[in-house]
Structure 1
Amino acid sequence: MAGEHDDADSAIDHTAPATVHVEPGPYLWRTLRAQASGAKATSGKEALLYTDSRLASAQDRLDLGAATVQVAVGSLADPAVPAARVVLRWWEYDESDAPLRPDHAVLVDNAQDYWLGMHVDQEFAAVLSLLLGVRMRSGGTIRRYRPDDLAGRTDLVEHVVPTLPPRAWSGRPIVRLPVGGQELVSLDDVAPRVADLRQVSAQHAVTMVRAASVFSDALWVCDHDPELAWLHCVTALELAADRHDRDHVNAVELLRKDKGKKNFEEASAKGTEALEHAAELHRRRTRAEKKLHTLLVDFPPVAPAVRPAGPAWIRVDWVDQADLWRRVEMIYAHRSARPHGGVQFPAPLLMPPLVAGAEHSGGADDSEPVWHAGGLGWRNADLPLTLDAFVHLTRSCLLSWWASLPTAGIG
């Protein structure tokens, strides 16, 4: 906590003369890799992370190498108000040889590969939200310190307590999350997963942290603006799907196949760099559904640990990939119609399900409308999944994809 330091702080090498060249990437990723490379710790910060879930750990502090995590002592007096439950304390390293900020031209052309617009605490909160399946946001820095002053000084200039927007429905939540004191969420498995993050490439780290950020935004607003949560979840899947596609598809060959010989030769005449740039733009802008389908096939979501009780129609067959893709494809169609045509998601998908915990919003009869809402009668075919089920699907796919990423050398 504030004013204290621990063994992890003492273990940091504050005198090492080494600097380290680290590629552009998430601040969290760069910090973890810099520490692992033996870079010199120059200063440190402490931040509070807020959640409406009850966290616990068998350890007093979790050591992440360049950072330590501690569960704050306290209670959730009001589950609707997120409380400061995690203290994150991290070191910053001498990266004087590293291109911390790509020049403007590089950034504009490659913003998807480099820029996240978040700090270490914000990135860590997003990653923690994905790993634990809880709402989590950073309020910002509360303390700054140096190697020669581990207690440091309090700094609340940038600290803002995040507020949770009110529920759109006063009854059951739309997405079931472990809020309040309903159940304990353990932090004990976090450290090795965060260590996994520092082992991946800069490009994979950017995609992973960005997808985690979008997913955490979905959890934060799901009971207030469920339609936005749907859009965020699809975006998180698209981010992983595009990176997975990029890892396995030859963009130049794809351009040759799709554009024909004449157009390909015209692009080739502009030089190798221009050809590769054009090919990558083409790959990103095409095959959206195919990329998403490949992600779901390669990293199929597992069924929730707790299935809803009741009639069979409220449960989804998580093993039948064809049926699951049919459902996701319908969600993707709703997602595409929203920004491009202004067509809202079906009203029942924006409400708590008829049966608590249901994975499917419809009913047992496919021939007649099963739900009247938003001025229309909705059939089963219009309601493929509940938002609760889609949040689970998104998180399951993202974590499986993360676990599959190849490791990259450090140093």
Structure 2
Amino acid sequence: MGTDAWRNWRAALENPLSNPEKHEEALYSDARFIGSKLQLGPYTVLPTMARDVPMPMALIMRCERHTSLMPELVDYRTNELLPADDSGYHGGTVSDEIAALVSLALGVRCRAGGITRVWGLRSDDPAGEPVEFDRQYLSRPGPPGTEILPAMNREVRFEDATETLATFPILQKKAAARLARAARLYSNALWWANEDPNFAWLQLVGAVEAIAAGQKSVSRPPVDVLADFHPNVWEALGDASTGTKEKVAKALAQQVGATRKFVDFVESHAPEAPQPRPEYRVDWSTMRQHMTVVYRHRSRALHDGKPFPHPMLDTPTNGPDGLPSETPVGMSAAAKGGSWMAQDMPMLLHTFEYIVRGSILNWWTRTARKNMTP
């Protein structure tokens, strides 16, 4: 089916209406946007010049509708119900989708907050009419003064995201739907990071999974995969026969498969290490091991209700160079009834956010480039 924003954008390119329905919607962000506007096909994103507010209405998005967005339920030729189709579903509106893509492309918080102006509702006024449809006056989540993601509140330029965002309608509908779901999860993580960093970790892992689930893994013998992703199980098997090891590997194949897709995706698409590097830094050469640990924490959080280790939920420490640490500081740590060794807490949330965003953007760019190749 394709997502609503993708279908509308494609319609605007292929069969634009001469007088489309229009509305404007508020977008909230704590970033400062540089540029006159961001033109994305039928969507125009305009800065409001908002300042000195923790979470202002920083942007207005003007949307033109060039196609019906109501899914068809009946085949009118046969009067039969059509099969269910949620392939383009991500749980949000067109504005939610575009706000999430802007969030991902620029690496900032951005959230839709409801319609503020419509055209053609009661009159033909070319300036439209101000309205309050589903308006939400959004505030900044989390304790005042707390920032777990130190790169969020900064100036960003529209031009840095225009080229990437412009390729969204070029993607095939399945890829576009996966990207939209990933962007929604990513933007949720950023929005709630200061209020609930454990939730942010889960959303960021989910953002990777939204795309990685559709990727094919390189074929490997099940026992090799078991040894790679469950070293403790492999060690426990010890001198067991080859047949026993193969049975255990096959029994754990589905669980290992999800971990493997996540790890393989990040390893294949991870961005270069950020520059400059702080004193306490992640070893970028062992990304596979780091991602395996992260996914293990994700599984325990979802299935056992055990949050990510507390040091991975904390704000980064600035080193002597003034740069925020990429990892928790120290060989071990204890807090709130738990203790962990350094290998159990490979990175902080802001480091993982950088890796997730860079990986998804690299995948987006490479996928769009393939679609543009004759």
Shorter-chain-normalised TM-score: which range?
0.7 to 0.9
TM-score normalised by the chain length of structure 1: 0.73
Decide which of 42, 56, 62 is 1:83's aligned counterpart: 56
TM-score normalised by the chain length of structure 2: 0.80
Gaps of at least 5 residues in structure 1 are 1-23, 255-282
> d(CA) in 2 for partners of 1:330 and 1:285?
14
Deviation at 1:42, TM superposition (A): 2.8
Select between 294-303 and 194-203 the one with higher mean Cα deviation: 294-303
Decide which of 102, 105, 121 is 1:131's aligned counterpart: 105
Determine the structure 2 residue equivalent to 1:3.
none
Determine the structure 1 residue equivalent to 2:262.
292
Report Cα offsets for 1:7-55 as digits up to 9, x if no partner.
Answer: xxxxxxxxxxxxxxxxx22221112111100232431111111101111
Q: Does 1:142 align with 2:116?
A: yes
> d(CA) in 2 for partners of 1:106 and 1:284?
28
Count matched residues: 326
| Residue identity matched to 1:342 | G
Contact 2:270–2:356 under 8 Å retained in 1? no
Q: Does 1:351 align with 2:314?
A: yes
Deviation at 1:166, TM superposition (A): 2.1
Deviation at 1:73, TM superposition (A): 2.2
Decide which of 353, 357, 372 is 1:391's aligned counterpart: 353
Please list every run of at least 4 consecutive aligned residues from structure 1 whose deviation after the TM superposition is greater than 4 angstroms.
101-105, 146-149, 283-286, 406-409
- Say which SS state the counterpart of residue 58 (structure 2) adopts: strand
> d(CA) in 1 for partners of 2:255 and 2:4?
28
Determine the structure 2 residue equivalent to 1:155.
131
Determine the structure 1 residue equivalent to 2:38.
62
Rate the CA distance shift 1:375–1:285 in 2: closer, same or farther, 3 A.
closer
Rate the CA distance shift 1:94–1:224 in 2: closer, same or farther, 3 A.
closer
Deviation at 1:286, TM superposition (A): 6.9
Determine the structure 1 residue equivalent to 2:294.
331
- Say which SS state the counterpart of residue 378 (structure 1) adopts: strand
Contact 1:362–1:383 under 8 Å retained in 2? no
Contact 2:104–2:187 under 8 Å retained in 1? yes
Q: Does 1:360 align with 2:327?
A: yes
Rate the CA distance shift 1:355–1:372 in 2: closer, same or farther, 3 A.
farther
Deviation at 1:99, TM superposition (A): 7.4
- Say which SS state the counterpart of residue 210 (structure 1) adopts: helix
Q: Does 1:205 align with 2:180?
A: no
> d(CA) in 1 for partners of 2:195 and 2:188?
12
Contact 1:359–1:388 under 8 Å retained in 2? yes
Gaps of at least 5 residues in structure 2 are 75-80, 223-252
> d(CA) in 2 for partners of 1:334 and 1:349?
10
> d(CA) in 1 for partners of 2:46 and 2:254?
40
Deviation at 1:70, TM superposition (A): 1.3
> d(CA) in 1 for partners of 2:156 and 2:355?
19
Q: How does 1:10-21 map to 2 (within 5 A)?
A: none
| Residue identity matched to 2:173 | A
> d(CA) in 2 for partners of 1:88 and 1:32?
14
Contact 1:143–1:155 under 8 Å retained in 2? yes
Select between 395-404 and 184-193 the one with higher mean Cα deviation: 184-193
CA RMSD of aligned residues (A): 2.7
Decide which of 160, 164, 178 is 2:140's aligned counterpart: 164
- Say which SS state the counterpart of residue 127 (structure 2) adopts: strand
Report Cα offsets for 1:369-393 as digits up to 9, x if no partner.
Answer: x322122332211211111111111
